[in-house]
Amino acid sequence: MPSDTTGFWTPVALSADLPAGTVIPARTPAGSVALWRSEAGRLAASADRCPHRGMRLSHGFVRGEALSCIYHGWSYAQAGNCLRIPAHPGLTPPETIRVAIHEVAEADGVIWVAAGVPASKPPRLDGLTPLRSLTVLAGKDAIETAAGGKTSPDGLVETAAGAGGVWLLAADDGQTLVHVLVRDDAGTKDRIAASRAAESLRRRAENLQREGIVQ
Amino acid sequence: MKLYDYILSPSCYKVRLMAALTGVKLDLQPVDFHPGLEHRGPELLALNPAGSIPILKDGDLILTESSAILVYLAAKAAAEWLAGDKPEEAARVQQWLSFSGRLTTSLGGARLHEMLLRPGDIDALQAQGISALRELEAGLVEQSLRGRRFVAADRPTVADIACFPYVALAPDGGVSLDPYPAIRLWSRALRSLDGFIEMPGIHRLHELKPEPLIETGEA
Ligand SMILES: N[C@H](CCC(=O)N[C@@H](CS)C(=O)NCC(=O)O)C(=O)O
Ligand code: FES
């Protein structure tokens, strides 16, 4: 991931895994977030903790342009301000009730969340199409060894020939979110093969990690 | 058709859900599974010596395996929930029906351990549960690459219903569902089907419910 002194981007999910009107959990180095897309298609990321009683907002639901908490239904706007408290229908929620938000960017089928204020945009993935995301219980070193490649400054690992396309990594403590990418022109067969190869690579990386061969 | 049923049993819920989706009317016979262990008492052992529920009784037909019960309900009322005549689809339905038994032992075992303090190696049960979830995730990814939204076809079948409850309740056994985007989309697709019913811990898509205008009670 490109980083600079003020902030950096983490690739947290694929666009296809977040349809309009849904919310999903995501991990960033700045903590867990509730990543959601409004019915009109606007993306937002908030801290995954409801200011009311701490319920995970990623367990909530999207209605229209608001994210609602599953617990008592408090709802929040993209900007993080509380819009509505169902138990007090006449009340305009005070400005002080708000959930922390993060900047979000989407390009080439990948959704990125900012930690801090990055000076640049997330890297582009020219010629590549995202296939799937999977969590690997291993660190970057074990994954690089299993994949037979080194991570580029953009977070990309070119896997050894035929072994499942290109991986975009988002490392976290002890586990790594891997986004499997294939060439734009890959057909269904190649895509299925890349998905299966990713399963094998994950097994190898996790074995390396477990056996302590790689830290 | 009489179902020996327990509200918190995911295996019994499979049958109730299938019946609701296919419009079959069941005569529910509640079983005191916990704490009464009624399923291990003489009357129910006479119907099912294995000492498990669900049990479906229709005339002199007694079924004690949830997958067989799902097939029976679908064959009677809604054949589109069964495999069509393509060999591949027929095989995929059987593949995931059999696989569902592994969800019962792994994720279901972890859940019984966590909720009812049943003895068991919780770490092993959770690890087996995670392996099973990864298999299902990979299967669903491949299906979506083939343009299909469900485990065996582009329509839901008995195989989806067989797999769904223990997957949806995985967090009860301490197994997170966060890492599985394809499972999340599949679960949403199932929970938005017409006729979908809930059980404790498994909800219809909230956004499909009418907006509560006034709520009472503590906020
Ligand atoms: N016969 C299998 C297994 C069903 C099963 O495991 N049922 C649980 C309840 S959810 C049970 O009766 N367990 C017996 C026990 O734990 O005492 C099926 O129908 O899928
Ligand atoms: S915890 Fe979110 S509304 Fe109460």
- The ipTM estimated for the assembled molecules is 0.94
Region B92-106: what's the mean pLDDT? Answer: 98
Mean pLDDT of chain B: 95
Domain that holds residue B182: 83-208
Please state the domain count of chain B: 2
Tell me how close the Cα of A141 comes to any Cα of chain B, in angstroms: 21
Q: How far is A85 from chain B (nearest CA, A)?
A: 8
Chain A residues lying within 8 Å of B212, measured CB to CB: 73, 86
Residue B212 pLDDT grade (very low, low, confident, very high; cuts 50, 70, 90): low
State whether B161 and B62 are in the same domain: no
Integer angstrom CA distances of residue B60 from A72, A82, B73, B107, B170: 48, 59, 16, 33, 35
Chain mean pLDDT for chain A: 92
Q: Scanning every residue of chain B, which has its alpha carbon at the shortest distance from the alpha carbon of A58?
A: B178
Same domain, yes or no: B33 and B18: yes
Instruction: Look at A168 and A78; give whichever has higher pLDDT.
Output: A78
Nearest to B141 among A13, A61, A132 (CB): A132
Considering every ligand atom shown, identify the ligand nearest to the alpha carbon of residue B4 and give its number: 1
Per-residue pLDDT tens over the stretch B69-80: 999 999 999 999
What is the per-residue pLDDT for B213? 54
Residue with the bigger pLDDT between A153 and B151: it is B151
The enclosing domain of B127 has a CATH number of: 1.20.1050.10
Which of these three, B80, B101, B118, is where a domain ends? B80
Residue B218 is assigned to a structural domain of this protein: no
Residues of A whose CB is below 8 A from B181: 13-14, 17, 24, 132-133
Mean pLDDT, to the nearest integer, of A133-155?
92
For A128-210, CATH number out of 3.40.50, 3.30.1490, 3.30.70, 3.20.20 equals 3.30.70
B162 CA closest ligand 1 atom index: 20
| Same domain membership, residue B172 and residue B107 | yes
B14 and B119 share one domain: no
Closest Cα to atom 1 of ligand 1: B65
Q: What per-residue confidence (pLDDT) applies to B125?
A: 98
Atom of ligand 2 nearest to the CA of A50: 2
pLDDT at A183 over 70: yes
User: Which residues partner with A11 through β-bridges?
Assistant: A112
pLDDT of residue A158: 87
Under the banding of pLDDT at 50, 70 and 90, the label for residue B173 is very high
Poorest-pLDDT segment among A49-63, A146-160, B183-197: A146-160
Q: Which of the listed residues B80, B110, B131 is the one where a domain comes to its end?
A: B80
pLDDT score of B211 more than 70: no
Confidence label for A164 from pLDDT (cuts 50, 70 and 90)? low
The pLDDT of residue A212 is: 86
Distance B181 CA to ligand 1 centre (A): 28
Residue B42 and residue B23 share a domain: yes
Q: Does B67 reside within a domain?
A: yes
Judged against a pLDDT cut of 60, whether residue A61 lies above it is answered with yes
CATH class of A9-114: mainly beta
At A189 the pLDDT is 95
Three-state secondary structure string covering chain A:
CCECCCEEEEEEEEHHHCCCCEEEEEEECCEEEEEEECCCCCEEEEECCCCCCCCCHHHCEEECCEEECCCCCCEECCCCEEEECCCCCCCCCCCCCECCEECEEEECCEEEEEEECCCCCCCCCCCEEEEEEEEECCCHHHHHHHHCCCECCCCEEECCCCCCCEEEEEECCCCEEEEEEEECCCCHHHHHHHHHHHHHHHHHHHHHHHCCCCC
What's the average model confidence in pLDDT over B164-172? Answer: 98
Distances (CA, A) of B6 to B34, B52, B115, B116: 9, 11, 15, 14
Pair (B7, B32) in one structural domain: yes
If asked whether residues B121 and B47 sit together in one domain, one would say no
Tens digit of each residue's pLDDT (9 = 90 or more) over A72-89: 999 999 999 999 999 999
Best B123, B148, B149, B178 member to test A by mutation, with max A CBs in 10 Å, is: B178
Question: Are the beta carbons of A182 and A168 closer than 8 angstroms?
Answer: no
B73 and B88, same domain (yes or no): no
Q: Are residues B109 and B196 in the same domain?
A: yes
Q: What is the mean pLDDT of residues A132-143?
A: 95
Query: Are B101 and B6 part of one and the same domain?
Result: no
Confidence of residue B216 (pLDDT cuts 50, 70, 90): very low
- Facing residue for B179 by CB, picked from A63, A87, A135: A135
Domain membership flag for residue B213: no
B187 and B113 both lie in a single domain = yes
Q: Are residues B170 and B200 in the same domain?
A: yes
Write out the residue limits of the CATH 2.102.10.10 domain(s) in chain A.
9-114
* Domain-embedded: residue B179: yes
Q: What is the pLDDT of residues A87-118, one digit of tens each?
A: 999 999 999 999 999 999 999 999 999 998 99
Residue at which a domain ends, from B80, B109, B134: B80
- Give me the pLDDT at residue B215, please: 46
Interface contact flag, B205 A195, Cβ < 8 Å: no
Closest CA to A204 of A194, A195, A214: A214
Could you tell me if residue B115 is inside a domain? Answer: yes
Model confidence at B139, pLDDT cuts 50, 70, 90, reads very high
